[in-house]
Structure 1
Amino acid sequence: MKQQKYAKLKILALLGITYVFAKFQGGFASWFLFYSCLTLVCYVLVTYLLMFTTLEVSRTVNRDRLQDGDDLTVTLRVKRKIWFPLGWNLVVEPLPDKLAGYYEPHRQLLFPWFRREVILHYVIPRVPRGYYQLTDCVVTAGDYFGFVQRQKTFTIRNEFLVYPAHRQITHWSTGDGRISGNMNVSHRWSDDVAAVRGVRDYQRGDRLSQIHWKASAHGMGLKTKEFEHQATNQMIFFFDASQDSYRGRDAELFELAVKLTASLVYYASRMQYPYGLIAHERKRIAIPPGNTQTHFFRTFDQLARIMPEGENPFAQAVSREAVEFPIGLTLAVITPTLNKTLITSLVQLSRTGRNVHLFWMHDHQIREEERRALLLLAGSKVTCESVHPSQYEQLKRIGGA
């Protein structure tokens, strides 16, 4: 700013000196020099007043949904309403905070000359999982002679999600021999009236079409139809997103947990199993069981955004919410912790007849107390899978022969 103040003084001083020189000296050369400086001052003044008045900046991204590791192509359009050459532009694109540590902000110097529109492209390579916003675009403009310079921030909002990468799991043994939850079917529960065998109390997750309105009208609360065939591989994913679980651990362990959950969700979607997601971040994330394309993208949207920012203990959330789901569902628990509270909760859930699968994430050699905890859970009919980062790359089958 100080340099710009001196630049304005210099051009005014130059105009004054040439005027005084022409006034006292006279002659064609001296007045030609004065009028040349006057023309220059008029140009600089017009440039200073109109450099941003006639400038428009817009931004587009090639995709608003990416996968972890993909490249993002950004297109900027710098457009003027008039063709008059008003000087140069320096475009600076600040990156989101999560990317600022990986890459430098994009900078590009433009000389539009007589062009009304300049289009430029740049690439943000290998974008990691997350939710991102591109907002400010800082444009610095100045005249060609270096007398004036101004800066303006254009607020442009572009959002995009980067989904977690997932592996192709070929087999996941989710059944345990119980009546409900071990039959592989690709359809939802039957709504055939002829197949109704009775009624039961309403449970969260039941669809409106399953409610028995006549029985509910008797004043005994909401009642749900029970059908003859209710076998399905329905599953609920309990994802650990609490701060305490990942404090002091490598950040890649949380990313590994997200990737594993995405792989399991993709497997359930491909097998046409209804699935849901429960997680406690800053807010509670609860996606009820379903299996549609919209449901799949809704789940992956949450997995793209989720961060280890939950304040409540994960074991407490599992013990409180898992009992609300009907017996027979597969409860898939993804966590890096093996504390006593969680072990007790999983054992109690298994004893009530629920099919519990524990996916324990770790980045170290299994300690003796952790090995004993896994044996205790296995003895209580809790299916345990320990996943190390080195093992995840070869993960294709979960459970079974």
Structure 2
Amino acid sequence: MKVTFRFIGNLLFILTLIIVLFSYAMFQGGFVSWFLFYSFLPILLYLLVLVCYPIKNWKVTRVLSGRLIKAGGTAQVVLTIERKFPFPLYYGIFEEIMSDSLNRKDRKHHNYSHLNEPEKLLFTRSMKKIFLIGFRKRIEIPFKLEELPRGEHKLEAVRVRISDVFGFVKKEHVFTLEDELLVQPHEREIKLIDGAQSFEQGQTAVNSFQLENTTVATGVREYEPGDRFSWIHWKQTAKNQMVMTKEFEIERSNQLLLILDATLPKNINPLAFEASVELALSMLAKLENTTSDVHLLTIGSEVRSFSIRESNQLKGDIRYYLTKIQPDGEESFSRLLKETMQGQKRLERLVIFTSSIDDFFRLTIQELKQRTAQIVVMFIQGSAFILESEQKMIAQMKKEGTKIHVLTERQLAATPLEVSIR
């Protein structure tokens, strides 16, 4: 309807100019008036043809350098416009119509210097170029989409505007041209502090994935630095005249479950959620080649579970899902966590990524600790967003023996990111 009104308006405007100039020449007479009429007549006829010129018959294509990109990366885009007849045109404005999900920039780990002001990363992404067309039948227009944010984004259409030299006639057409960009989460460089812990005063370190079952002694050996006092075998020590300790059966415990909070609280910090996704992916990648049995559980409006082994070592389902995941759901994470974990049997290790905690969360963790060997909570939030009640809750959970690590803009902006899961 709008296009039709514009066409009628332009047509009436040009016809009115022709009629006015012709009437002036007829009534005024003389060389000057007819000279003006014939001088402007080619221009007016050109404008009349331009009004009827069908730009909708142009062929517009888009070529992307790649459809799978890392967050913070750049996509090279080339628009190609082809037309059959080289009708002379002054200029054209070519504009990409993009989804709102692209109206944010990603600067990789530099994002987190704005963790207290996530709105600073929001902007209206516009890709618009003016190109002199002339008699060209084929036009190629390159441009870049830079600092792309994580997610599934769509390039929906291309808007083309043309005009004459004087700006009397303006035409516009939108070419539907859908393309999809998948921007994977940025994989952080992390320093994972895991199970390297020393026994009392000794120097021998063990991996926390290998826990000793000290209830079953399988033999004796000479004392080594790091052995506990309670392990000394006194009878053998007296018999051999040297300190002997018990040898225990090694019980491997290598189950690790990462839980990602994908709920949508009222005062959500979108940048904190992005940090949770990046950190979860980075830890999975770090543990990909270990013998650990690592699983990922995301809790939001739907609950999804993945295993590194089942998803072709992180190259398939997990990465694709973490590319598209967005926070949603009305229920609180703490209640969904309790409901989800109720049916689980005894667990070895849990690492929970969340940006909101409450008293119900604390009680849920206390309940889980009764049937879980180790629980680590990664509380990810900007320092200005952490409420006083949450600070008190964190302090109380630490007093109760819960291992909770607070990651704010200070920790997240560092490279490599130091993460402790012990």
TM-score of the pair, normalised by structure 1 = 0.72
Q: In the superposition, relative to structure 1, how do residues 33 and 235 fare at CA in structure 2: closer, same or farther (>3 Å)?
A: same
Take 2:23 and 2:357, find their aligned partners in 1: how far apart are those partners? 87
Kept after mapping to 1: 8 A contact 2:299/2:337: no
- Following superposition, the deviation at residue 144 of structure 1 comes to 4.3
* 1:99-248 alignment, distance < 5 Å: 99-100=102-103, 101-144=122-165, 146-173=167-194, 182-183=209-210, 233-244=254-265, 247-248=266-267
Amino acid across the alignment from 2:331 = N
Amino acid across the alignment from 1:48 = V
Kept after mapping to 2: 8 A contact 1:280/1:312: no
* 1:260-279 alignment, distance < 5 Å: 260-271=279-290, 273-279=292-298
Question: Equivalent residue of 2:94, what SS?
Answer: strand
Kept after mapping to 1: 8 A contact 2:300/2:327: yes
Take 2:126 and 2:42, find their aligned partners in 1: how far apart are those partners? 37
Residue aligning to 2:81: 78
- Following superposition, the deviation at residue 257 of structure 1 comes to 1.9
Amino acid across the alignment from 2:410 = S
Question: In structure 2, which of residues 81, 88, 91 is the aligned counterpart of residue 88 of structure 1?
Answer: 91
Q: Deviations over 1:22-63 (max 9, x none)?
A: 889999999887777665555434433333143122223222
Take 1:285 and 1:326, find their aligned partners in 2: how far apart are those partners? 18
Kept after mapping to 2: 8 A contact 1:238/1:332: yes
User: Structure 2 regions of 5+ residues with no counterpart?
Assistant: 104-121, 198-207, 212-249
Q: Deviations over 1:350-382 (max 9, x none)?
A: 32245433222243388344212123143xxxx
Residue aligning to 1:376: 400
Question: Equivalent residue of 1:243, what SS?
Answer: coil
Residue 332 in structure 1 maps to residue 335 in structure 2: no
Take 1:23 and 1:361, find their aligned partners in 2: how far apart are those partners? 81
Amino acid across the alignment from 2:263 = S
Kept after mapping to 1: 8 A contact 2:60/2:175: yes
Take 1:347 and 1:17, find their aligned partners in 2: how far apart are those partners? 88
Question: Equivalent residue of 1:296, what SS?
Answer: coil
Take 2:125 and 2:406, find their aligned partners in 1: how far apart are those partners? 38
Take 1:339 and 1:249, find their aligned partners in 2: how far apart are those partners? 14
Residue aligning to 1:62: 65
- Following superposition, the deviation at residue 231 of structure 1 comes to 5.2
Take 2:9 and 2:190, find their aligned partners in 1: how far apart are those partners? 68
Residue aligning to 2:54: 51
Amino acid across the alignment from 1:107 = K
Number of matched residues?
A: 347
Kept after mapping to 2: 8 A contact 1:166/1:259: yes
- Following superposition, the deviation at residue 334 of structure 1 comes to 0.9
Question: Larger strand proportion, structure 1 or 2?
Answer: 2
- Following superposition, the deviation at residue 306 of structure 1 comes to 2.5
Residue aligning to 1:9: 12
Residue aligning to 1:396: 418
Take 1:98 and 1:230, find their aligned partners in 2: how far apart are those partners? 48
Kept after mapping to 2: 8 A contact 1:77/1:117: yes
Amino acid across the alignment from 2:178 = R
Kept after mapping to 2: 8 A contact 1:85/1:112: yes
Take 1:370 and 1:85, find their aligned partners in 2: how far apart are those partners? 70
Amino acid across the alignment from 1:384 = I
Question: 73-82 vs 363-372, which deviates more?
Answer: 363-372
Kept after mapping to 2: 8 A contact 1:175/1:233: no
Q: In the superposition, relative to structure 1, how do residues 360 and 21 fare at CA in structure 2: closer, same or farther (>3 Å)?
A: closer
- Following superposition, the deviation at residue 250 of structure 1 comes to 4.0
Question: In structure 2, which of residues 325, 342, 345 is the aligned counterpart of residue 306 of structure 1?
Answer: 325
Question: Equivalent residue of 2:66, what SS?
Answer: coil
Q: Deviations over 1:187-214 (max 9, x none)?
A: xxxxxxxxxxxxxxxxxxxxxxxxxxxx
Take 1:35 and 1:234, find their aligned partners in 2: how far apart are those partners? 89
User: Structure 1 regions of 5+ residues with no counterpart?
Assistant: 185-228
Residue aligning to 2:274: 255
Percent of paired sites with the same residue: 22
Residue aligning to 2:229: none
Question: 25-34 vs 107-116, which deviates more?
Answer: 25-34
Kept after mapping to 1: 8 A contact 2:397/2:404: no
Amino acid across the alignment from 2:286 = Y
Take 2:364 and 2:194, find their aligned partners in 1: how far apart are those partners? 22
Amino acid across the alignment from 1:239 = L
RMSD, aligned α-carbons:
3.8
Residue aligning to 2:300: 281
Residue aligning to 2:362: 343
Question: Equivalent residue of 1:81, what SS?
Answer: coil
Take 2:13 and 2:126, find their aligned partners in 1: how far apart are those partners? 33
